[in-house]
Structure 1
Amino acid sequence: MKKHLLLGCGVLLMSVSYAQTAKWQNLFNGKDLKGWKQLNGKAIYEVKNGEIVGTTVLSEPNSFLATEKDYGDFIFEVEYKLEKDFNSGIQFRSQSKADYQNGRVFGYQMEVDPSPRKWSGGVYEEGRRGWLYPLDLNPAAQNAYKAGDWNKYRIECRGSEIRTFINGVSAAHVIDSELPSGFIALQVHGIGKKAEDAGKKIRWRNIRIMENPAASQFSKYDDVYVVNNIPNNISEQEKLQGVRLLWDGASTKGWRGAYKPEFPAKGWEIKDGILSVQPSDGGESTNGGDIVTEEEFAAFDLEFDFKLTPGANSGVKYFVTESENNKGSAIGLEYQVLDDDQHPDAKLGAAGNRKVGSLYDLIPAYKMTNSHRKVGEWNHGRVVVYPDNRVEHWMNGHKVVSYTRGDNIYKALVARSKYEKYPNFGLAEKGRILIQDHGNNVSFKSIKIKSLK
């Protein structure tokens, strides 16, 4: 009884402290735009019936009605309604600086996207990196948006943790430290010269904020995928979900050379939290050689960041058994890592199935806007193998390959590939993860894995 009493008192004290330090503040007085300023485009913002109403204007860039004050850690809520479907968003922790593209607004945005792709609630970085959290990463939230009705958005920012909610549904979860504070803004998206889109309206109401809120209360049942952009880091939510580092960011622990008892003595470098293949002659495993995990995996969710140098070639393989005893790179299913523009391998194979993100020599990666970043920039790769043998390749939050190990289509693809000579290629119950040495300088970081059941 005493323990329960003490616990109850603790909760009560925490609640009292929380109430004293964090209170809701209205950001809109319902009468005028006091406390707000307009940036970039000249869309019309006005107050009507206790609402802010934004109206599209021809030949204007994106317009933003921004708070005059900057905010760091907060919970923000707003209700909005689109009179007709068009793209919009809520900026947060955003900036406008004279020395950056003449004051162009940049920063995080909670997307308003009623299009068929259903990405409302996702996180986009306006003016810089683009999509940080396309809502394909959380299909459960894609139907939360209510067309033609009022929608409630909630944004939570605590340090590097960013979470969004649409109509009470958890939408995006991002860990990112690029922008610790900035203004909040209501976007009216530019429509170019499309006369049919002129005069479209979006309404906002019940705009409020709570600064310096209490810490997040995580639940082990929250299985919303986390995009973590902090190198070699596992967030608290990822830990609860069973995600762990596959490479610790500092040593060779857990890895060895393919077909070797130890980690290669040359050909690899670990520096400043980055694992790099050193350049040599461009051949397969002719310098340090491939490296593999000491542990084997069956169904899993594998993530890794990679950065190419001009003309470079590498790959991340899975279900590697080392049973083939072949020369060159060890055999396994491969997520291709390649400079498509400068490496000749991109023109070989069939239908582009040797380009970056592809299931090498079998299935070409689908390329869409923002799915592939430039050589010299970090790309985020992901391979998901489900217990029922469905497999997905992802690149920068976009699904680019999907197939099923062992079905008739898979078998037909293997029969026409360079792997047709290997019995039951790629069908092992479990295998190692491999990072390829193809004689070119390629870097990796944030290699993590989650076992799936």
Structure 2
Amino acid sequence: MCNSKSLIVFLIWLLACHPFYSQSPLEEGGWRQLFNGKNLEGWKQLNGEADYKVVNGEIVGTSKLNTPNSFLCTKENYSDFILEFEVIVDPIVNSGVQFRSNSFEDYNNGRVHGYQFELDPSERAFSGGIYDEARRGWLYPLSINEKGRKAFKNGIWNICRIEAIGNSLKTWVNGVQCANLVDAMTGSGFIALQVHNINSKDKEGKQIRWRNIRIKTSNLEESKWEGDPDVKEMSFLINGLTDNEKRNGWRLLWDGKTNNGWRGAKLDQFPKSGWEIKDGVLSVLETDGGESTGPGDIITADVFSNFELELEFKITEGANSGIKYFVDPNLNKGSGSAIGCEFQILDDKRHPDASMGVNGNRTLGSLYDLIAAEGLSTLGRGKQFKGIDSWNKARIIVRDGHVEHWLNNEKVVEYNRFSQMFRALVAYSKYKDWENFGQWPAGHILLQDHGNTVHFRSIKIREFN
């Protein structure tokens, strides 16, 4: 474990000033150069036709119109490693460095896909975030790491680092940790330098330059950098918890196999049909599209007050559902869903509910019938939905009166449930007849049956004092 990131960053800079050393094939400590500083031996180009050349000991990629994303890929695959490189990106284009990536004939005609270390010189400033190229999209956007967004600098060489060890994927830019991702989808693949496709003449001929690209594949523990405790770990383990999550009080709210801990909202037991548990997925099955007219909602056995809830959901075309919290199942014994605050789950493009309510307050991610979801994490960035039949991540955070909804790691709703504004919104909503709606001290978590097939998994929670 290295105790001085600043020393290592300085040494990397020192190597940049001594090309006779940086171009040696094997360095002290088990590091190996991936680029010999002279030619593209050991690399091959896939997909697009952007130009890659070696100029003054640098790999220079140049953007080109009318060609898809281009990738200069290592011929060798790597599993566990630490990768370091320096890069300058023209500020009007976007780029990235692929790792544990692959190209298979039977996957999208050989499209390069896999983890990408984002290089983003725009005002969005997501450099060092982790994007899943041609697959799941953003896994670790820097909307959850404001300090990391300030690390990349335009117009100078940026020193970048990737640690891919087991399921742990961590990144740094100029010594600042940017991403802390846990994901088990892909364990091995090539490294690739991306020149992104462009769609306008003013972006043609712009350059991305890389140098001092080196990798270490053995004795990695001795070279790992200490993580920044303020950089949130984001896990995509399916129905599992990381050691860090366990230490921080997380527990699975659904075990991935049984209905333990759940019951029907209007039943003493779990519904006998209509909810399916299969292959680690909890699904409510299609009936008539009505609100709780099929098997009915399900709720947790426990009640919660201050908590952080996270789960993944996947909707089918035209589907409607929801995640409710502060649910009191005794309030509505008649038809319809149990009463509580709702994180709306909806196909906004196809379900009519999206155009009902007020100003979009019944769309995906919204506090149903009260507050419309919108992009709150990054200026000018709308809410992020990965589409139907794709897994999306929902998160609900409640600390006393403060409540947040997050969709795919981007904040979309924020409110105080004890505020005058919240009470005013309730007074003009469908919940106006329920006294102190949303202000109860505790309640159940609910997954809604709204007559459409919707899937859930990786349901976990931690409670705050």
Q: Same fold (TM over 0.5)?
A: yes
Q: Decide whether aligned partners of structure 1 residues 377 and 40 sit closer, same or farther in structure 2, where only a CA change above 3 A counts.
A: closer
Q: Does 1:234 align with 2:247?
A: no
User: Which has the larger displacement, 284-293 or 228-237?
Assistant: 284-293
CA distance in 1, matches of 2:52, 2:239: 43
Q: Does 1:277 align with 2:284?
A: yes
Measured on the aligned residues, the alpha-carbon RMSD in Å equals: 2.6
CA distance in 2, matches of 1:220, 1:37: 33
User: Which has the larger displacement, 34-43 or 364-373?
Assistant: 364-373
Shift of 1:305: 1.3
Map 1:4-403 to 2 at 5 A. 23-194=30-201, 196-214=202-220, 222-322=229-329, 324-327=331-334, 328-366=336-374, 371-387=384-400, 389-403=401-415
Deviations 1:108-132 (A, max 9, x none): 1100112112211111122232222
- 2:17 — aligned with what? none
- 1:8 — aligned with what? none
Q: Decide whether aligned partners of structure 1 residues 104 and 264 sit closer, same or farther in structure 2, where only a CA change above 3 A counts.
A: closer
Give the partner amino acid of 2:243.
E
Give the partner amino acid of 1:205.
R
- 2:13 — aligned with what? none
CA distance in 2, matches of 1:373, 1:174: 18
CA distance in 1, matches of 2:150, 2:192: 24
- Unmatched 5+ stretches in structure 2: 1-27, 376-380
Shift of 1:22: 7.6
User: Which has the larger displacement, 221-230 or 205-214?
Assistant: 221-230
- Unmatched 5+ stretches in structure 1: 1-20
Q: Does 1:434 align with 2:438?
A: no
CA distance in 2, matches of 1:89, 1:344: 39
Give the partner amino acid of 1:451.
E
* Maintained 8 Å contact 2:383/2:407: no
Shift of 1:152: 1.6
CA distance in 2, matches of 1:136, 1:84: 20
CA distance in 2, matches of 1:411, 1:349: 17
Report the identity percentage.
53
Q: Decide whether aligned partners of structure 1 residues 322 and 175 sit closer, same or farther in structure 2, where only a CA change above 3 A counts.
A: same
Give the partner amino acid of 1:340.
D
Please state whether the residue corresponding to 2:339 is helix, strand or coil.
coil
Give the partner amino acid of 2:104.
K
CA distance in 2, matches of 1:79, 1:413: 51
Shift of 1:92: 0.8
Deviations 1:377-396 (A, max 9, x none): 22221112234x33222222
Q: Decide whether aligned partners of structure 1 residues 349 and 200 sit closer, same or farther in structure 2, where only a CA change above 3 A counts.
A: same
* Maintained 8 Å contact 1:22/1:212: no
Query: Number of paired residues?
Result: 431
Shift of 1:177: 2.9
CA distance in 1, matches of 2:73, 2:393: 31
Give the partner amino acid of 1:317.
K
Shift of 1:325: 4.4
CA distance in 2, matches of 1:96, 1:440: 36
Give the structure-1-normalised TM-score. 0.87
Give the structure-2-normalised TM-score. 0.85
